[in-house]
Amino acid sequence: MTNALEAARTASPVPLSLDREQAEWREYGDQTPEGTTARIDELTERAARDRAGWALRTTPALLADGCVPIALSDCHTVSGGYVARRDGPTLYWQLQRGVTETQGIGGGFVLLELEADGTTLRPVAWDYAGYIYGQPEWAGDEGEGGVVHVAVPGVHGGTGAHNADVVFRLTDDADRPLRQIDNFSWRDDLDARLPRGLEVWKGVNFAYEALMAETSLWRSNDANCCPTGGEAFLDFEIRDDRLALTGLQANDALTAMAERVPADVFAWAQRRMTCDHWAGEEGYDAERAARIDAALSQARCDAVEADGQALRRAHADDEAVLDILARAGAM
């Protein structure tokens, strides 16, 4: 296993992604002798595929005619082009759709650069882990020493729509001009920055040029499809070949509502729930009946309907308040 993994890492343009994949296999994969053999075979095939990928050549004119043939069968290209910087590098790109034996229908991308002859393109990075990829974009400003990064946004299959993005640093290495950086461990720092009771369940939407992202927020009892916790905006920096989370601003839907909804509306909702609770209790003896009467009197339950109607009239133009009153009345 060690030799097969090292060979695959050496050949791979995305070795950090391969490390993550291997860690997941160790955690969840088939550890039987048969499963281990299958994993070794998969790594060996990956290494051979990627070694062949480095040797491929094409031209800008041919990018639109068909896929750069690295990993997908029944492959077709959906878009392509180039990204360039003034007085800086130009990278050509091709987005692909097709089929792999391990993942079925999926997508991929290839980044290419011109060779010295000015007409030949050679692949310098690619990946096929995601279901679909988007157009590459420069990530952030040039750092110290003119460091340049390029990001390829991507999405994994499934309802989670988790990030399959890949980010590279441009290097002076003639053979491997793109070095993958860590753009995934930042999520380990995310929970500590979120307001209590709020979580991020899916992938986030990056704006790489600004090194920012936005995401919906989920509460624990939300459905996967329907977050109700508001939204968050994330700020990043690239440090030591790692995308680092540096700031988070959460627009908590509950807090926002509490700030703008009048206190008397929440007080009425509490009264209504109290009245509904005690009105449904049974006064099975004198002491219990007296306790029920006291609770109903303290909550002024005889006036709760009239007070609710007064609030509806006072806030007739505020849909959020009307929704709260309606939900409290239906409980």
Tokens of 245: 């989370």
pLDDT at 263: 83
3-class secondary structure, 50: helix
Dihedral over alpha carbons 261, 267, 271, 277 (to 10 degrees): 70
What is the C-alpha to C-alpha distance for residues 327 and 273, in angstroms, rounded to an integer? Answer: 10
| Below-70 pLDDT ranges, the chain | 142-146, 253-259, 330-331
104-130: b or e for each residue (b if 16 or more CB lie within 10 Å)?
eebbbbbbbbbeeeeeebbbbbbbbbb
**Host H or E run for residue 310:** helix 304-314
- Rg for the chain, CA atoms, rounded: 28
* pTM value surpassing 0.85: no
Residue 231 near residue 217, CB atoms below 8 Å: yes
pLDDT in tens, 183-224: 999 999 999 999 888 999 999 999 999 999 999 999 888 899
What is the C-alpha to C-alpha distance for residues 110 and 127, in angstroms, rounded to an integer? Answer: 7
pLDDT at 51: 97
What is the C-alpha to C-alpha distance for residues 193 and 271, in angstroms, rounded to an integer? Answer: 35
pLDDT at 258: 61
What is the C-alpha to C-alpha distance for residues 121 and 139, in angstroms, rounded to an integer? Answer: 23
What is the C-alpha to C-alpha distance for residues 141 and 19, in angstroms, rounded to an integer? Answer: 28
pLDDT at 251: 85
pLDDT at 130: 94
What is the C-alpha to C-alpha distance for residues 170 and 277, in angstroms, rounded to an integer? Answer: 65
3-class secondary structure, 108: strand
pLDDT at 65: 85
pLDDT in tens, 125-149: 999 999 999 999 999 876 555 689 9
Terminal-to-terminal C-alpha distance of the chain: 59
